[in-house]
Amino acid sequence: MNEAYAGREQTEAKHAILRHYLQELALITLGGKEYAYPTLTYVDGFSGPWQSRCGDYSDTSFMIALGVLKDVQRQLVRRGKRPVIKCFFAEKNRISFAQLDAAVRTYDNPSNGFHVETFNGTFQGAIADIMRFAEGFTLTFIDPTGWTEYPFDKIAPLLTRRPGEVLVNYMYDFAGRFTSWSDPKIVESFNGILRPGWPERIDRSLPPGEAAENLFRQEFKDAGGFQYAVSTPIKKLAERTHFCLTYGTRHWKGLEVYRSLERKALKQHDFRRFEAKLAKEEEESGPLMFKASELHQPFTLDAQTEREKHSAAEWLIKMLRERGRPIPFGQVSPQMLDRFALTPSEAKDVCVAMADNALILPTWLDVGSKRKKPDKRDLIILVVPPDGGTAPSLGASLS
């Protein structure tokens, strides 16, 4: 257990996702053969420090990002590349800003291709400066404590900047509760992210948290012109989503990378929450006989994945019926990952299980092929029963 995050396991999960995604993104965009850009710009709109417990700020998003980006730059320089990395940190609070500025200044080293810029003021107020500063690919991290400080129309230039992606911390629990209120001031406070008139567009047939989040994700996707927008639910100790990290991208590769590391982060988060709950129990009722690692059974997450696979198969059947023609797996996979919390390899497993259940044809096994799973060019073809009747139904398990 990392003591710096004791009692705030949700922050640990947020930082894990940021750390791993930023690392993969930097390696792919600056070092990859297919997607090489000369510059990566990282923007943290709500930098902190905030509730940091480490003297060296190693438990803050800004220090995590600097550590990752420095490390990637070193790796790429060793491979003979000359990547340029630019970081922009905005922070409104004067005292926090002074701490932030002092901590990140030393990283500014333009002659070595590492630029650091700070801004004392609001994220909205920093947009013009950010747009002047940004070069190459941008990743923007929006991590506020509420929902009023990043109205999409005010930050649109950055949201829509290409090439670029955005990761935003959406306050699921609070937003879900407050969107049920009819107080005009509260209704108005959501206009920035849900757009005016949102009470007419929210799906009241869903639980409030889910309804607000669905609308938020759709508005975020539209405002940024993203092709894909997915949300990772993060819980505190209680079995309830506290916030979501919502990720917007225009590239299937980003989506694949994000979905893979999301699963790893959620597994770890599940275990940390279990550890923390045991520690609490121990505090209240004395020492336990077993350690968390001996007791933990990752059933909840596994069961959730099974449900996602099942829903994904149902969705795929419906889509193939509606389209009325085969679709290459390369098109099916990103659409599936956009709708369901599955990894790229699980999207393949869904198709294999569907073929085993005679719902689609196992085209990847065509003559001469040794592949057990589909790849991008394989056509996904719905099995149409010869008598025109209904197709066989889905098996209970798709694993």
Ligand X SMILES: C[S@@+](CC[C@H](N)C(=O)[O-])C[C@H]1O[C@@H](n2cnc3c(N)ncnc32)[C@H](O)[C@@H]1O
Q: Which residues contact 305 (CB under 8 A, 6 or more apart)?
A: 263, 341, 342, 346
Residues in CB range of 210: below 8 A, 6 or more apart: 176
Q: Which two tokens stand for residue 187?
A: 């209704």
**Which CB atom, from 53 or from 253, has the smaller least distance to ligand X?**
53
The smaller minimum CB distance to ligand X, of residues 19 and 81, is found at 19
Shortest reach from residue 320's CB to ligand X, in Å: 42
Distance from C-alpha of 136 to C-alpha of 87, rounded to nearest angstrom: 12
- Indicate the helix (H) or strand (E) that contains 232: strand 228-235
Residues 187-226 that bind ligand X (CB under 6 A): none
- Give the H or E element holding residue 329: helix 329-339
378 is an interface residue for ligand X by CB under 6 A: no
Q: To the nearest whole angstrom, how small is the minimum distance from the Cβ of residue 81 to ligand X?
A: 29
Instruction: State the amino acid at position 363 in one-letter form.
Output: T
The stretch among 32-40, 138-146, 238-246, 291-299 that binds ligand X (CB under 6 A) is 138-146
Closest CB 70 distance from ligand X, rounded Å = 17
The Cα–Cα gap between 49 and 53 comes to: 10
Q: How far apart are alpha carbons 151 and 193 in whole angstroms?
A: 6
> Which span sits near ligand X by CB under 6 A: 143-151, 190-198, 290-298, 344-352?
143-151
In the complex, the smallest distance separating the C-beta of residue 375 from ligand X, rounded to whole angstroms, is 38
Provide the minimum distance between the beta carbon of 192 and ligand X in the complex, in angstroms, as a whole number.
Answer: 11
61 is a site residue for ligand X (CB under 6 A): yes
Tell me the C-alpha distance between 337 and 374, whole Å.
15
User: Among residues 144, 151, 326, 395, which is the contact residue for ligand X, using CB under 6 A?
Assistant: 144
Could you please report the per-residue DSSP string of 243-282?
EEEEEEES-HHHHHHHHHHHHHHHHHHHHHHHHHHHHHHH
Asked if 174 is part of the footprint of ligand X (rule: CB under 6 A), the reply reads no
Q: How far is the CB of 23 from ligand X (least distance, A)?
A: 16
- End-to-end CA distance of the chain, in Å? 31
Q: Say if residues 79 and 27 touch (Cβ distance below 8 Å).
A: no
Kindly state the smallest distance separating residue 357's Cβ from ligand X, in Å.
44
Amino acid at 150: Y
In the block, which residue shows the tokens 């990392």? 2
Give 143 or 270: the residue with its C-beta nearer to ligand X. 143
Closer residue to ligand X in complex, CB, 10/305: 10
- In terms of CB distance, is 11 or 335 closer to ligand X? 11
Q: Between residues 122 and 357, which has the closer beta carbon with respect to ligand X? A: 122
**φ, ψ at 205 (rounded to 5°):** -80, -15
- 346 scored as a contact of ligand X (CB under 6 A): no
Among 24, 48, 179, 350, binds ligand X (CB under 6 A): 48
Candidates 12, 117, 143, 349: give the one binding ligand X (CB under 6 A): 143
H-helix segments, 106-251: 123-133, 152-159, 172-178, 184-189, 191-194, 198-201, 208-224
Q: Residue 155 or residue 230: which is nearer to ligand X going by CB?
A: 155
**Which of 233, 232, 43 has its CA nearest to residue 136?**
43
4 to 43: interface string for ligand X, x by CB under 6 A: ----------------------------------------
| Minimum gap (Å) between residue 156 Cβ and ligand X | 16
| Cβ distance to ligand X smaller for residue 104 or 312 | 104
Burial class (CB in 10 A: 0-12, 13-18, 19+), 325: exposed
Number of residues that bind ligand X (CB under 6 A): 18
Binding to ligand X in span 87-106, by CB under 6 A: 90-93, 96
Using the rule CB under 6 A, give the single segment among 140-148, 192-200, 304-312, 316-324 that binds ligand X.
Answer: 140-148
- For 102-213, list the strands marked E by DSSP: 114-120, 137-142, 164-170
Burial string for 256-272 (b: 16+ CB within 10 Å, else e) reads bbbbbbbbebbeebbbb
- Backbone Cα Rg of the chain: 23
Query: Is there binding between residue 149 and ligand X (CB under 6 A)?
Result: yes
Mark residues 111-130: x for contact with ligand X by CB under 6 A, - for none: -----------xx-------
Contact residues for ligand X, defined by CB under 6 A: 45-48, 50, 60-61, 90-93, 96, 122-123, 143-145, 149
